[in-house]
Each structure stands twice: as C-alpha cells, then as structure tokens.
Amino acid sequence: MFFLICLILSQFILCQELEYSNIKCNYHTTFLIDTTDINTKKEEMTGLWIGKNSSVFRSDQKAIYDSLAKQSTKESFSNPVKGKIILDFSRIPKAYFIPEVFKFGEKTEIFDKILGTYYKYENEEKINWKILNETKTISTYKCRKAVGKYRNKNIIAWYTEEVPISEGPYTFKGLPGLVIEAYDDKNYFHFTLVKLKDLKQLIAPIRGEISTNYERFLKKRNNFQNDPAGAYFVATGKQTPKDQIERITKIHRKNNNHLD
C-alpha cells in the first residue's frame, strides 16, 4: 500500500511539473545512416517544442508513424481477414531520426533506442561555445556564428538574438538566441529552421524507458552493433537463422552515424 501511494504521488508530481509549449520550431534535418555512403542520406522534419521551463526535440515523422500505426492496428482488429488479425505497417513511412532530447530547467536527458527499447541518460556533455565575429542572414533572421565541440564532433551553429531563447535542435543549446542552423564539420547531420509558430502542446518525454548513463548506453550499443544476433537472442530468447547472421550484422554495422 505504501509503495502504491508513493507511485501515485510520484506520477502526480510529474504531471504537475509538465507544461505546455509556447512555440514550436520545425527543422529540416538531413543526416547519413552510413558515414561511408552518401546514398544513405535521409531527410526528415524534426520539431522543437519550447515552453517556459522545458523543451522537447524529436522527429515529427515518428509522431506521424505512431499515429498511423495505432490507427492501422485499430482497423486490423475491427476487420480481421478470415478470422486473423493482420498487422502491416510496411506502407507507413518510418522515422529514421530516432533520438529525442527532453530539457527541464538545467537538466537535459537524451532518449535513444537499441533493439526496440528506449534508454534514457542525462547529458553531462556541455558545449563550450565560442562566438565568432561572423554573421549572415538565414531566411529573415540575422544570425551570428558560434563553434563548439560536442563529444567527438565539431559543431557549427548560427543563432539569432531576434528570438532571445537559449534553445536549439538536439543538445545544441546555451547560446544567447535561438539556433537557426546547426551542423557538424563533416556535414553528417544538418539542421535548418524552416518554420516557427505559436503552438500550445504538452511537453512530455518518452515513457517506459530504461534509465542508464552514457557510458553504459554506449557499451550496449557497441555490443549490439558488433553482434546483433547475440543481442537479439539475449533480449528475446530467439535464434537468428545462421544464413542471415552475416547479412544482419553488416546492416547494423552500417548504421554508424550517431550524433554523440
């Protein structure tokens, strides 16, 4: 009973902390799946919802996919084929940009997925930005250039003081204005603001995730990419057919472009 009361209380406090966005920023996002193959380039719309004390950054396509998949599942249960429920999501455009970033106050959490499971870790890698005396106009915004290092990536950001919000895509925040454009020096990832609008929507992180830290997450991701068949067996108890192991391993090793 005591545990149940604590659980309900914690959920109540969490709901009290969550807030609604004031604005949403849409970023056109390009990125490579495999850094050695330009043909793996993807384009996706991502969104940054900003409130008074919090923000969340995620793929717009993911929300669309989840909504359509839910609708497809509901229709499949309502219309079984010869008594069988057939789920087919193959025609729903999938999201390729997976990580999400939830910021509340000074705390930033990153959510990322390995083998269908979301993991959450606190981002302790702060970017020490250097603001340069270089400006340009992007859309209608006068922007100033800033550079910084995020883990093993050199980041270039263009921000505007015309929108005095210390926010930006992914973890590229902390500048004296909204980040309009950001990319790494190899252009493996590129974010460009295309729309900013007033929008009231609940800012909430993913639920059902596993809490960890970056070091443990990185180790688990590396283990999965080096031996996906083994990781799949540990997670599900199912064996990967031997004639498929080499092919599956190559596929997952090519998924090597990570923002961290």
For residue 259, being part of any structural domain is answered with no
Backbone torsions φ then ψ of 180, nearest 5 degrees: -90, -35
Domains: count for the chain: 1
pLDDT of residue 17: 79
pLDDT of residue 191: 98
pLDDT tens digits, one per residue of 106-131: 999 999 999 889 999 999 998 999 99
Closest CA to 259 of 99, 104, 126: 99
pLDDT tens digits, one per residue of 56-100: 999 998 777 776 766 767 666 677 766 666 666 666 778 899 999
For residue 174, being part of any structural domain is answered with yes
pTM (whole model) above 0.75 = yes
For residue 135, being part of any structural domain is answered with yes
Element (H, E) at 154: strand 153-160
For residue 10, being part of any structural domain is answered with no
For residue 248, being part of any structural domain is answered with yes
Range of the domain at 77: 18-254
Instruction: Report how far residue 182's alpha carbon sits from residue 187's, in angstroms, rounded to the nearest whole number.
Output: 9
pLDDT tens digits, one per residue of 137-174: 998 999 999 999 999 999 999 999 999 999 999 999 99
Closest CA to 60 of 197, 162, 239: 197
pLDDT of residue 99: 95
- Please say whether the beta carbons of 126 and 120 come within 8 A: no
For residue 210, being part of any structural domain is answered with yes
For residue 7, being part of any structural domain is answered with no
Neighbours of 215 (CB within 10 A): 9
For the ranges 7-11, 44-48, 99-103, which has the lowest average pLDDT?
A: 7-11
